[in-house]
Amino acid sequence: MDRFIVLPLLIPLTTAILAMIAPGRVPRRWVVRTALTLNLAAALWIFATILRDNTVLVTNAGAWPAPYGITLAVDELSALMLTITAVLALGVGIFGDITIDITRERFGFLPILNFMLMGINLAFITGDIFNLYVAFEVMLTGSFGLLVLGDRDNQIKGGIKYMIINLMSSTIFLLAIGLTYGVLGTLNMAHLAERAADVESPGILTILAAMYLVGFSIKAAAVPFFFWLPASYHTPPAAVTAIFGGILTKVGIYGMLRVHVFIFPNEMQHLQWLWLLMAGATMLVGVTGALYQREIRRVFSFLIISHVGYIMMGIGFDSRVGLAAAIFYMAHHMIVKTALFMMAGILEGIHKAKDLHRMGGTVNRAPVLSVLFFIAAMALSGIPPLSGFFAKFALLSAAFSAEQYILGGISLIVSLLTIIAVYRVWHEGFWKPAVDHILDPFIEEIVLERLDNVQRRLIVAPSVVLVGLAIGMGLFANASYELADRIAGQLLDRTRYVDAVLGDYQEEFEAENTLPPTFQVGRE
């Protein structure tokens, strides 16, 4: 049964090919919608199996035994990320295939979306660190395609910044992988975790961990590597921004969880001051940028950065409480942010404007959308009883139990500033009276007039579901937090993952009464 964990790779791959050869717009849409539903079903099934059996699902590509071949392994964290990604992909898939313009769809919006989804899923499934690099590259290739698809001037300019910075981050990541192989002599994550634990923290592992930190924090858009994100995320259509804002930076966070928490747990004590400094600066810089911006999607782009800071802060406490809070926060953030970006797209379509000053009066024109947006915005800024409140509460109690009072204070201030930024969007976009305005010259909005009634309901439906999830996470906060705590516990307890991946290998060496060949780290 374990080999079914390749389904989240096979389904998007097949879909992408089918979507390329599909005859016409309507069949293509239905192929992709069906496939994304299947992908969600597969992810839920994997998650349910893991939670029920309390196990790690492992399969080895080409039946090469670990640690020699490429291992695919799914534990609780991977399964959670797979499931959230599948939910978001289905929502954005439906939102995207309706709202995207015909040119972009003809030039392959849906196939590229599925290729990118395959890369993201591979990043979560793989148990081999070089394979994680390959997954990042597959994901990046897809995201480059989506970012410049449509060929508008702003997209090309944003695309160059996005591309160069992300290529550099991948190269640094690859450099770190090469050095890791030189030092520890393996690439399998479980094997790495085992060997890194034996090495009593010599300087070389700290340098490696720092290199991974640079690579991943460029991907996650943490200060001081965040400039590419606000320069590019507002240029493509709303559907693309929604999937980017929800998932891509969080794949970088997932890399941190895998490498810094799982493989190099001992290095966190050396990097902690740097880590927490980056987290605090990321929170502050992100929210300050959001306060300054006037375009709705730019505001939310900066708020992504701010929330990456929160998640990094939770990881940086180097405790189970902090980790659980970070995982809870990440899940909440992915769901709410995607919903907000989709609704921002619809809002731009209603007003034919990007600038908040040119919007207004939406409460009367689109009451359902306004209520949804209000709930999502309140969830983002952390008002009880929604998911954001409990996520921030968990992080704050982790900060105080780690005796990081300054950082806890900063997170409270940032929380307050987030409310101001989000309230500004709500007031300007929805609450104030409608304003007459000249049309934005460079806007490329969703043309709502072309949609029939069913389609108009369908593009709001994903936001309804996601906002429902955010409310659910708040109402059942105890159960959600317990799940996050369980995931954090499993991530910190390496033995189960290591045994599941390397069980046969260890038995083989124990049977011959010899120890696995350990690698001597280059130290006198």
Span near another protein by CB under 8 A; candidates 146-154, 210-218, 284-292, 361-369: 146-154
- 224 preceded by cis ω (within 30°)? yes
**Number of chain positions touching another protein (CB under 8 A):** 34
- Find the binder of another protein among 3, 106, 357, 457 (CB under 8 A): 357
Q: CA 193 to CA 189: how far, in whole Å?
A: 6
Residue 486 binds another protein (CB under 8 A): no
Residue 365 binds another protein (CB under 8 A): no
Q: CA 25 to CA 320: how far, in whole Å?
A: 49
CB 233 within 8 A of CB 301: yes
Among positions 431-450, residues that touch another protein (CB under 8 A) are 440-442
Span near another protein by CB under 8 A; candidates 29-37, 152-160, 254-262, 455-463: 152-160
Q: Cα 13 to the chain's mean position, in Å?
A: 20
- Find the binder of another protein among 27, 65, 178, 385 (CB under 8 A): 178
- Find the binder of another protein among 159, 360, 382, 388 (CB under 8 A): 159
State which residue, 148 or 469, has the beta carbon closest to another protein. 148
State which residue, 354 or 494, has the beta carbon closest to another protein. 354
State which residue, 23 or 203, has the beta carbon closest to another protein. 203
Q: How far is the CB of 289 from another protein (least distance, A)?
A: 15
Q: CA 81 to CA 117: how far, in whole Å?
A: 12
State which residue, 148 or 213, has the beta carbon closest to another protein. 148
Does the CA dihedral 420-330-305-276 come out positive or negative? Answer: positive
Of the candidates 332, 170, 311, which has an alpha carbon nearest to the alpha carbon of residue 253?
Answer: 311
Residue 154 binds another protein (CB under 8 A): yes
Span near another protein by CB under 8 A; candidates 89-97, 167-175, 201-209, 405-413: 167-175
Residue 476 binds another protein (CB under 8 A): no
Q: Mask 235-274, x = binds another protein (CB under 8 A)?
A: ----------------------------------------
Which pairs count as long-range contacts for 52-59, CB under 8 Å and 24+ apart, including other chains? 55/500, 56/496, 56/497, 56/500, 56/501, 57/1, 57/2, 57/5, 58/2, 58/127, 58/500, 58/501, 59/2, 59/3, 59/5, 59/6
Q: How far is the CB of 121 from another protein (least distance, A)?
A: 18
What value, to the nearest 5°, has the Cα angle with vertex 242 and ends 408 and 491? 50
Residue 164 binds another protein (CB under 8 A): yes
- Kindly report the number of other CB atoms within 10 A of residue 198's CB atom: 10
Of the candidates 372, 393, 414, which has an alpha carbon nearest to the alpha carbon of residue 481?
Answer: 393
Q: CA 400 to CA 379: how far, in whole Å?
A: 23
Residue 151 binds another protein (CB under 8 A): yes
DSSP annotation of 2: G
- Find the binder of another protein among 177, 239, 259, 487 (CB under 8 A): 177
Residue 153's Cβ-side half-sphere holds a number of Cα atoms within 13 Å equal to 2
Q: CA 376 to CA 339: how far, in whole Å?
A: 7
Residue 148 binds another protein (CB under 8 A): yes
Contacts of 436 (CB under 8 A, 6+ apart): none
- Find the binder of another protein among 20, 160, 210, 281 (CB under 8 A): 160
Span near another protein by CB under 8 A; candidates 151-159, 215-223, 312-320, 424-432: 151-159
- Torsions phi, psi for 229 (to 5 deg): -70, -55
CB 365 within 8 A of CB 350: yes
Quote the tokens at residue 159: 């695309």
Q: Mask 203-242, x = binds another protein (CB under 8 A)?
A: ----------------------------x-----------
Q: How far is the CB of 200 from another protein (least distance, A)?
A: 22
Residue 3 binds another protein (CB under 8 A): no
What value, to the nearest 5°, has the Cα angle with vertex 152 and ends 148 and 154? 85
- Find the binder of another protein among 171, 269, 495, 518 (CB under 8 A): 171
- Find the binder of another protein among 6, 20, 61, 179 (CB under 8 A): 179
- Find the binder of another protein among 25, 106, 294, 496 (CB under 8 A): 294
Binding residues vs another protein (CB under 8 A): 130, 134, 137, 141, 144, 148, 151, 153-154, 156-160, 163-164, 167-168, 171, 174-175, 177-179, 181-182, 187, 231, 294, 355, 357, 440-442
